[in-house]
């Protein structure tokens, strides 16, 4: 594979090259991993997009919101990429983003790039590959990268680790359902957006917004927030209302964080996190080689048979892995 050529086409903004590169980073094959790493080493990492994490339960209107919001941004001349983080097992009936009817207008927009959810089932692997896909989108010169996740628990934390801003999308609901949003997820949000503020649902949406605004005020103040944030707002993704206000709020927050240094501090902490994750993944990958697997199997049989002590066998295994001669006994 011509990695240098691929890097050049990605930097030139070619969507097909970007799509192929993301397929490469999503692959679990060892030779593909090596090529993906080489590609990441070749690309210009100086470009920065605004990375926006977006979470919400199925049906709350994520794809409708992304379609309207994305189209608003591309109409302003911005280039927008949309990625999804969930393993397909977390979604009923496979990948929701794979559904061709989702965001079809945005998908046809030449200034937009939409990538369906990767199909691995292990969240850790999906997380790392999505993070790499974000890096590829930045290198391709996208101004905004939207990282979508279904609100099913752990995936929000993963998205927050690769986003500059985190947006929680909610539906209008009665007071009882307020408690349904886990405190930990609320604490991650920079913006809580109540969707479907239209028609019969409008009054409920406004009440829900007030409830969440109140709940947000009760949370511990975070250092990375100016006065008035995190904020709760209402929108109608279907009727295209409230979306410019969401963008203004996100930009205002981003600007404040840039000026106060919180932006760089967060990105630095995230880079450290992904480095440590990559180190762990690389070490685990060494266990997957046929040679390592054979020795693991032999030692685990010896341990099971009582012929070797577990701790001692593990030490011997690690020493062999490092190419050191195991000590006798
Ligand atoms: P997702 O599962 O979170 O991606 O949700 P969808 O975007 O597929 O929307 C789920 C349903 O809610 C669809 O029937 C949408 O038409 C509807 N919906 C989405 N946004 C709005 C909105 O702003 N107002 C109303 N009334 N319905 C909406």
**Ligand 1 and 56: CB distance under 6 A:** yes
Summary mean pLDDT of the chain: 89
Pairing of strands 165-170, 191-194: parallel
pLDDT above 80: residue 142: yes
Residue closest via CA to ligand 1's atom 26 equals: 196
* CATH match for 45-259 among 3.30.360.10, 3.40.50.300, 2.40.50.70, 3.40.50.261: 3.40.50.300
**Residues forming CATH 1.20.5.170 domain(s) in the chain:** 1-43
Kindly give the pairing relationship between strand 165-170 and strand 80-84.
unpaired
pLDDT digits (tens, 9 = 90+) for 158-175: 899 999 999 999 999 866
| Residue pLDDT, tens place only, 190-214 | 999 999 999 999 999 999 999 999 9
> Could you tell me the distance, in angstroms and rounded to a whole number, from the CA of residue 4 to the centre of ligand 1?
42
Specify the CATH number of the domain 1-43: 1.20.5.170
- Which is more confidently placed, 155 or 210? 210
In the chain, % of residues over pLDDT 90: 68
Six token digits for residue 268: 């630095």
> What pLDDT, on the 0 to 100 scale, is given for residue 120?
63
Comparing 320 with 182, which gets the higher pLDDT? 320
Up-side HSE of residue 309: CA atoms within 13 Å toward CB? 4
Is residue 89 pLDDT above 60, yes or no?
no
**Is 181 or 33 the better-scoring residue by pLDDT?**
33
Report pLDDT for 103.
85
The confidence score (pLDDT) of residue 282 equals: 86
- pLDDT above 70: percentage of residues in the chain: 89
Tokens 């999308």 belong to residue: 169
- At 220 the pLDDT is 84
Distinct helix (H) and strand (E) counts, the chain: 14, 7
Length of the chain measured in residues:
329
Substitution site in 56, 64, 233 for ligand 1 pocket (most atoms within 8 Å of beta carbon) = 64
Predicted pLDDT of residue 101: 55
> 38 pLDDT exceeds 50?
yes
What is the distance between the alpha carbons of residues 8 and 34, in angstroms, rounded to a whole number? 18
Nearest CA to ligand 1 atom 10: 59
- More confident of the two residues 151 and 291: 291
Residue ranges of the chain assigned to CATH 3.40.50.300: 45-259
């Amino acid at each position: 594979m011509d990695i240098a050529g691929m890097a050049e086409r990605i930097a030139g903004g070619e969507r097909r090259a970007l799509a192929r590169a993301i397929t490469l980073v999503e692959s679990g094959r060892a030779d593909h991993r090596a090529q993906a790493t080489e590609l990441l080493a070749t690309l210009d990492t100086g470009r920065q997009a605004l990375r926006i994490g977006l979470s919400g339960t199925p049906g709350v209107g994520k794809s409708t919101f992304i379609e309207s919001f994305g189209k608003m941004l591309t109409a302003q001349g911005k280039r927008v990429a949309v990625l999804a983080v969930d393993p397909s097992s977390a979604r009923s009936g496979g990948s929701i983003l794979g559904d061709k009817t989702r965001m079809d207008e945005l998908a046809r927009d030449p200034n937009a790039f939409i990538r369906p959810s990767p199909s691995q089932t292990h969240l850790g692997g999906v997380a790392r590959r999505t993070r790499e896909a974000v890096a590829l989108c930045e290198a391709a010169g996208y101004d905004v990268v939207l990282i979508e996740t279904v609100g099913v628990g752990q995936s929000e934390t993963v998205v927050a680790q690769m986003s500059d801003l985190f947006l929680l999308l909610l539906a209008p609901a009665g007071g009882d359902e307020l408690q349904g949003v886990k405190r930990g997820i609320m604490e991650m949000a920079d913006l809580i957006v109540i969707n479907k503020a239209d028609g019969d649902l409008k009054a409920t949406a406004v009440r829900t917004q007030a409830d969440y605004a109140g709940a947000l005020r009760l949370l511990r103040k975070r250092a990375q927030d100016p006065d008035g944030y995190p904020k709760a707002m209402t929108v109608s993704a279907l009727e295209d209302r409230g979306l410019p206000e969401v963008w203004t709020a996100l930009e205002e927050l981003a600007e404040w964080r840039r000026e106060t240094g919180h932006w760089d501090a967060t990105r630095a902490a995230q880079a450290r996190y992904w480095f440590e994750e990559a180190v762990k993944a690389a070490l685990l990958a060494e266990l997957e080689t046929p040679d390592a697997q054979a020795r693991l199997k032999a030692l685990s049989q010896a341990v099971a048979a009582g012929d070797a002590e577990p701790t001692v066998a593990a030490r011997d295994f690690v020493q062999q892995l490092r190419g050191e001669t195991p000590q006798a006994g």
